[in-house]
């Protein structure tokens, strides 16, 4: 699974759990709290089979979904 796909799927599932059904766009502001972001990271870790501990603080500061994607991609590229 590609990184972007894993993040979009995980984020969409978190939004649906909050009763929001609109498909997310890459430039939209994050609509989940810090707890939700941590759950997003855990879900992406499970989907991709990687550890994203180094991305947590950067992801928590993310304002948009694109910021989250870039933070996680940077963390994964450091691992490789």
Domains of the chain: which residue ranges?
A: 3-79
- Looking at residue 80, what is its pLDDT? 64
Extract the residue ranges of the chain whose pLDDT is less than 70: 79-80
- Torsion angle defined by CA atoms of residues 32, 36, 37 and 38, in that order, rounded to the nearest 10 degrees: 170
Report the predicted TM-score, pTM, of the whole model to 2 decimal places.
0.82
d(CA 26, CA 67): 9
- Looking at residue 6, what is its pLDDT? 93
- Looking at residue 79, what is its pLDDT? 64
- Looking at residue 26, what is its pLDDT? 81
- Looking at residue 44, what is its pLDDT? 93
What's the CATH fold of domain 3-79?
A: 1.10.1200
29: left (phi over 0), alpha (psi -120 to 50) or beta: beta
């Amino acid at each position: 699974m590609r990184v972007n796909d894993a993040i979009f799927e995980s984020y969409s599932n978190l939004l649906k759990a909050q009763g929001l059904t609109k498909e997310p766009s890459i430039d939209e502001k994050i609509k989940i709290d810090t707890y939700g972001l941590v759950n997003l990271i855990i879900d992406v870790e499970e989907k991709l089979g990687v550890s994203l501990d180094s991305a947590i603080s950067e992801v928590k500061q993310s304002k948009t979904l694109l910021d989250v994607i870039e933070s996680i991609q940077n963390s994964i590229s450091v691992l490789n």
